[in-house]
Amino acid sequence: MKLFVFSFFISLNLMAQDMPYLDTDFGCTERADAERYVQDFNIDVQSFGGMELCNSQVDTKKLLNDLELLEKGRFDADGSNKFIKGFVPATNYYNWMKGETRGVERGQDVPYATAYNSGGYFTMQDGWAKLSTLGRVGTIVHEARHTGGYYHIQCQQGPYQGTSVSGCDRDYNYGGSHGVEMEYYARVSVHGKNFHPVYKKMARLMAIARSNIFFNTPILKTREAVLALSQDRGRAELFDNGQWINREVPSVAGRLKRTSFGAVVFDGVRAFAVELYQNSGFRDLVSDTYSYYKLLRENDSSVKDFEEFDSGVKRYVVRMMENKLTPYDFPNGKWGRDVALPFSFAKASTAALGKAQTGLYLVSTSGEIYNYQPQNQRITNTGLTWGLDHKEVIVYKGQNLVLMNNGQIFASTASGLEPWSEAKNLYSDLVTTPVYDGFEVIKE
Ligand SMILES: [Zn+2]
Of the options 3.30.1640, 2.120.10, 3.30.1330, 2.60.40, the CATH number for the domain spanning 222-436: 2.120.10
Closest CA to 51 of 71, 72, 31, 26: 31
Output the pLDDT for position 271: 94
Do β-strands 236-240 and 222-230 pair in parallel, antiparallel, or remain unpaired? Answer: antiparallel
How many whole angstroms from 152 Cα to the centroid of ligand 1?
6
Distance 264 CA to ligand 1 centre (A): 27
Span from the CA of 287 to the centroid of ligand 1 (angstroms) = 23
How many Å lie between the centroid of ligand 1 and the Cα of residue 315?
20
In whole angstroms, what is the distance from residue 383 CA to residue 226 CA?
A: 27
- Identify the helix (H) or strand (E) that includes residue 333: none
What separation in Å is there between the alpha carbon of 220 and the centre of ligand 1? 20
Number of neighbouring beta carbons within 10 Å of residue 200 = 21
pLDDT per 10-residue tile (average), the chain, 444 residues? 49 67 97 98 98 98 98 95 96 96 96 91 95 97 98 95 92 98 98 97 97 96 97 96 96 96 94 96 93 79 91 94 94 91 97 94 98 96 97 97 98 96 97 97 89
Distance 169 CA to ligand 1 centre (A): 9
- 28 CA to middle of ligand 1, Å? 31
Cα(39) to centroid of ligand 1, in Å? 24
pTM: 0.94
Three-point CA angle 258, 8, 113, nearest 5°: 60
CA of 176 to the centre of ligand 1 (A): 8
Give the pLDDT score at 246. 97
- Residue 9: the pLDDT is 39
71 CA from centroid of ligand 1 (Å): 22
Sequence-separated (6 or more) residues with CB below 8 Å from residue 362: 320, 325, 341, 343, 345, 348, 369, 370, 371, 372, 379
Distance 217 CA to ligand 1 centre (A): 17
Name the percent of the chain in helix, strand, coil, to the closest 5. Answer: 20, 30, 45
Whether 345 and 304 have beta carbons less than 8 Å apart is answered as yes
CB count within 10 Å of CB 338 equals 13
C-alpha of residue 107 to centroid of ligand 1, in Å = 16
Give the residue range(s) of CATH 2.120.10 domains in the chain: 222-436
Distance CA 408, CA 21 (A): 39
Ligand 1 centre to CA of 181 (Å) is: 10
* Distance of alpha carbon 159 from alpha carbon 296, whole angstroms: 16
**150: closest CA among 124, 120, 175?**
175
